[in-house]
Amino acid sequence: MEWVIEAEDVYYEYEGGGLALDGVTLRVAKGEILAIMGENGAGKTTLVKHFNGLLKPQRGRVVVLGMDTRHTPVSVLARHVGIVFQNPDFQLFAETVEDEIKFALRNFGFPEDVIEKRAKWALKIFGLEKYRERSPYALSIGERKRLSIAAVLSYDPDIVILDEPTSGQDFLQKERLAELLYLMKQQGKTVIIVTHDVEFAVRRSDRIVVMKAGKILGEGPPKKVLSDVRLIKEARLKPPQIIETAHSLTSKGVIVSKDIYPATPYELIRALGLGEDI
Amino acid sequence: MPIVELRNLYFSYEGSAKPALKNINLVVDRGEFIVLTGPSGCGKSTLCRVLNGLIPHFYRGRLSGQALVAGLDVKETPTYILARHVGMVFQNPENQLFLSTVERELAFGLENLGLPEEDIEQRVKQALDYFGLADLKDRPPYLLSGGQQQKVAIAAVMIMEPELLILDEPTANLDPVSAEEILELLEKLRKEKNISVLLVEHRLELVLRYATRLLIMREGEIIADGPPERVILTEHANIVGIPPVVEVYKILSGTKYALKDIPLTPSDLTNEIEAVVKRGVGH
Amino acid sequence: MYLPKKTYLHRLDPRSKAFMLAFYSVASILILNPLLLVLLVISNIPLAIVAKSLGRWVKTMKSIVFFAVLIFALNLLTSVTWNVEYALTMAARFVALTSAFSIFFLTTTPEDLALALEAGGVSREYSLMITMSLRFVPTLARDLQIVTDAYISRGAKLDAKGLLNKIKAYTTLLTPLIVFEVRRSLMVAEALEARAFGATEKPTLYKKVKMTGKDYAFSLLWLILLIIVIVLKVTGVLY
């Protein structure tokens, strides 16, 4: 198992008070899609900002791709770890869409021909070709969100972190996001998403980590974690609809009790024994 | 008298050839809980802004057709009069809370309306009690949690006693538990104050259980309008995402395990499945 | 800047504190003796202690040391004769004024200030402008941090060499922030409309700032001190 990120007993307190991380130990495996979940203020964003060196642990350490973040400049770490923050409007720095996509590539000193190639790829994959000469601010909010992701993926980081990527997104946008996650995984990238969205996390992630008040409450395969009633309640999350249904049906004896509940409609139907001819 | 009457409504923003609202026909009565959904850019927010007069008074453009809110013509009535009938709560609480204490925040709208001090004092006290904000009355709103902030925002608008409360994705930035608290609050308001609620939201699995009516918009038009159980099964619903429990219903429908009624919540689905199993079908 | 506390000074009407400010302002200008000016500054310390804000006052004072030294140096270098005393006076005056204003702002909410202004006849639009600008300062600071984080995360550097490059870097950084904040102001405006802003010419003032006995006493104290200073100056006793 190759660990791309290893956080060991990380403590972080913001100036002016507020212990954001209270002894967090976490390992992220290469190629996995990891969902970090928890209520607002649990420390999720603070934690991921340690992964590209924006924040340095005050106690403990974070090792990313073999590099200790305390001794590696952000510019080096950022080359391998891309973060797409929640609000696209805070991440649009260029005058045209094309320049926006090239912004990071230029900053990291890629050769011009590589820049052209990757920009072309990103514009195409994200359906932004027709806007290449336009100002990023002329785009709709959904398009700006796509652009903010495109601008990070264009420089091909090994690890991609998305902060609340489904927030405010409509159904089709979320489907596209799911396809994107799959694409990134295919490319061998490691993806971390910070999210509240239990339905999205249970279907699209490989592993879930649940945080509360700067600590990790639990982690494991999505269905297992989101079936843990006590854990979910403590973290102020709500179980996905199918898991909640399965839980009720189990307590009524309709389904035989298992540790891990069905999480999708088809899994539920199969668990009921109705699945043979459906 | 219906609280909203829109007939043949068209609207284009100034400088834009393409209409943002096309042929909108909508009648809303008191006590309805309407969930309004649709893909990004379909005109949901535009429609909301017609209802409280931001369109056409704040956002210029061409508005044609009939737009009556509480019997008043939106085109002719200033927003501060419409504000007495239509309350609007926005997505980001930060941008709706301006003052240094919760108490002052609640009083703000009434101050603007020029109500006498004693009336304001009374209404503020009532609102603090009703919304459970009495302990927070001296706290700065911007230091509260997201869920508490939205509660204050709702209270600050409800204190003006509108007949219609519009909320534009109010739970987008909230964690699931806070989101549910807000939704429960809206349902309570609807039942106890007999107001109409218009809620714009993408996550149907969260809100459909409260809806008396589901509206789907697309490219400026209303393409579906009716009881949620019916509308969610139409083809139009495919563009907005069907809640997992409804998906189960759809998969089983037409088979010998078909569920009797359309479930909108896990608890509905549990009951439906139990009924099917008891009927002796399945194991 | 303001932190809610329940001290004597916090509870005073801003108009009384304005009398205090008036005294310090006039005194700092009239007094030329740098030693006396330093005494003025020191007289703020008990005020800061009453306001339970000594730590923050000290912090503010520390942060202006650089500017005070700068003012001293500039005045010294630009004077025809090597007038050390004059330069010291200028620097001390600056410190005295800053110190008094600091006490004022540490103990007055933007809103109390706005309310006092409204009570004095300023229209709601202006008073609201003051309240909201101050209310959004921490929000803007936080947003600036977010934009900076995003900027650095895309490999851009803030410590560019050369003034021109630095300006370029900061412009690039600030553009998204400014655009967003302008958009935010639009959303705030919408919310104001939804709360019937502008419905009447004279909105009710639910929460008033009242001048109590303590306020009149406090104001009178500083008014008397102010008169004394003026008289002493005019009669040549004070230097």
State pLDDT tens for residues C198-232. 888 778 887 776 777 888 888 888 889 888 888 88
Region of poorest pLDDT, from B114-118, B162-166, C120-124: C120-124
In the sheet with B33-37, reading across from the earlier edge strand, the strands are B86-89, B164-168, B196-200, B33-37, B213-218, B221-226
Mean pLDDT of C154-180: 85
pLDDT digits (tens, 9 = 90+) for C46-72: 888 888 888 888 888 888 888 888 888
pTM (2 d.p.):
0.86
Top residue of C139, C147, C151, C154 to mutate, by most chain A CBs within 10 Å, is C154
Distance CA A147, CA A143 (A): 6
pLDDT at B283 over 50: no
pLDDT digits (tens, 9 = 90+) for B203-220: 999 999 999 999 999 999
Contacts of B283 in chain A (CB under 8 A): 272-273
Residue of B nearest to C129 (CA): B98
Largest CA distance in chain C: 67
Please, how many CA atoms are within 13 Å of residue C89, restricted to the half-sphere of its CB?
Answer: 13
Residue of B nearest to C136 (CA): B98
Tell me the pLDDT band of A104, cut-offs 50, 70 and 90. Answer: very high
Q: Using the beta-carbon criterion (under 8 Å), do B80 and C184 form an inter-chain contact?
A: no
Ordered DSSP codes for A10-22: EEEE-TTS-EEEE
pLDDT at B163 over 60: yes
Q: Detail the DSSP E strand segments found in A122-247.
A: 159-163, 190-195, 207-212, 215-220
Q: Detail the DSSP E strand segments found in B219-260.
A: 221-226
| Min Cα–Cα distance to chain B from A157, Å | 28
| Min Cα–Cα distance to chain C from A237, Å | 26
Q: Using the beta-carbon criterion (under 8 Å), do A237 and B240 form an inter-chain contact?
A: no
CB of C156 within 8 A of CB of C175? no
Q: Using the beta-carbon criterion (under 8 Å), do C204 and B58 form an inter-chain contact?
A: no
ipTM score:
0.89
Distance CA C151, CA B161 (A): 45
Find, among C40, C15, C75, C3, the residue nearest to C214 by Cα.
Answer: C15
Amino acid at B1: M
- Looking at the complex, does the CB of residue A167 fall below 8 Å from at least one CB of chain C? no
Tokens of A167: 């927030």
Mean pLDDT of B160-176: 93
- Looking at the complex, does the CB of residue A18 fall below 8 Å from at least one CB of chain C? no
Tell me the pLDDT band of B160, cut-offs 50, 70 and 90. Answer: very high
Q: Given A75, A104, A152, which is nearest C157 (Cβ)?
A: A75
For position A275, what pLDDT does the model report? 60
Instruction: Enumerate the domain spans of chain C.
Output: 29-107, 115-194
pLDDT digits (tens, 9 = 90+) for C67-87: 888 888 888 888 777 788 888
Largest CA distance in chain A: 65
Find, among C229, C208, C220, the residue nearest to C16 by Cα.
Answer: C220
pLDDT at A120 over 60: yes
Mean pLDDT of B111-116: 92
